[in-house]
């Protein structure tokens, strides 16, 4: 493994147990447990999540359904289910309101594609359960988390695309500017103001690093 890929694993890969990203995710999970101390007995809908996340979690809920567009997941556990569906379209979820106690979503809302899609996603969250935890990287944290690049999110799109094709810490390597353009356009970081607008009445919790708000979470308990 070359140096750039090794650095990516150590810093930005949440699936690497000792990576910086994995440690931050563990800290957020502790806050999730503080907000929802009965998590072990709850029925959870995880929008954008994976079964592996819950297998490795310190607390397993009574039942979890993960929803994303990836068909590769087919959990064997009786308490885990996976649905291939669009998290912004309530009709595709295959469940009715009342089936879940809590909606969890980590780092998905910035990828769904535009403000109207984010509104649709928020409506799905509110309809699916009485409580939610919706986390997303803070747009105004100085380091863009997907590329581990200072100020990257504030650059023009074409400039970002040119840099991504050469940037060694990108989360997924691309080799042409057009492929890089397609990649950067899938990320639209959300501000505190927009998250509060999308989830009125929710508490906005700030995960801080060095005194700065690294990620933001809309929480309704």
- What integer pLDDT is reported at residue 4 of this predicted model? 45
Closest CA to 207 of 32, 7, 12, 11: 32
Provide mean pLDDT across the span 198-218.
96
Q: How many other β-carbons are positioned within 10 Å of the β-carbon of residue 215?
A: 21
Model confidence at 95, pLDDT cuts 50, 70, 90, reads low
Residues 83 and 161 in one domain: no
Residues 161 and 100 in one domain: no
CATH of the domain at 91: 3.40.50.150
Share of the chain above pLDDT 90, in %: 73
Q: Per-residue pLDDT for 10 more than 50? A: no
Residues 88 and 164 in one domain: no
Q: By residue range, what is the domain housing residue 181?
A: 147-186
Distance from C-alpha of 208 to C-alpha of 220, rounded to nearest angstrom: 19
Model confidence at 8, pLDDT cuts 50, 70, 90, reads very low
- What integer pLDDT is reported at residue 12 of this predicted model? 47
Residues 197 and 181 in one domain: no
- Total structural domains within the chain: 2
């Amino acid at each position: 493994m070359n140096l750039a890929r090794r650095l990516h694993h150590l810093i930005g890969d949440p699936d690497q147990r000792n990576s910086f990203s994995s440690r931050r995710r563990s800290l957020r999970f502790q806050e999730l447990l503080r907000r929802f101390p009965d998590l072990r007995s709850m029925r959870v809908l995880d929008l954008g999540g994976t079964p592996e996340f819950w297998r490795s979690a310190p607390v397993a809920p009574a039942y979890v359904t993960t929803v994303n567009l990836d068909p590769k997941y087919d959990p064997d556990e009786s308490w885990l289910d996976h649905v291939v569906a669009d998290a912004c379209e309530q009709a595709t979820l295959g469940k009715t309101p009342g089936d879940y106690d809590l909606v969890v979503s980590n780092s998905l809302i910035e990828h769904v594609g535009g403000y109207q899609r984010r509104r649709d996603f928020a409506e799905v969250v509110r309809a699916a359960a009485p409580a939610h935890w919706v986390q997303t990287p803070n747009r105004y944290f100085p380091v863009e988390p997907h590329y581990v690049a200072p100020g990257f999110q504030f650059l023009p799109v074409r400039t970002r695309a040119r840099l991504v094709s050469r940037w060694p810490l990108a989360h997924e390597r691309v080799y042409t500017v057009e492929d890089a353009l397609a990649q950067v356009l899938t990320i639209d970081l959300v501000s505190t103001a927009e998250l509060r607008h999308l989830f009125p009445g929710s508490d906005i919790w700030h995960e801080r690093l060095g005194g700065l708000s690294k990620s933001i979470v809309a929480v309704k308990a």
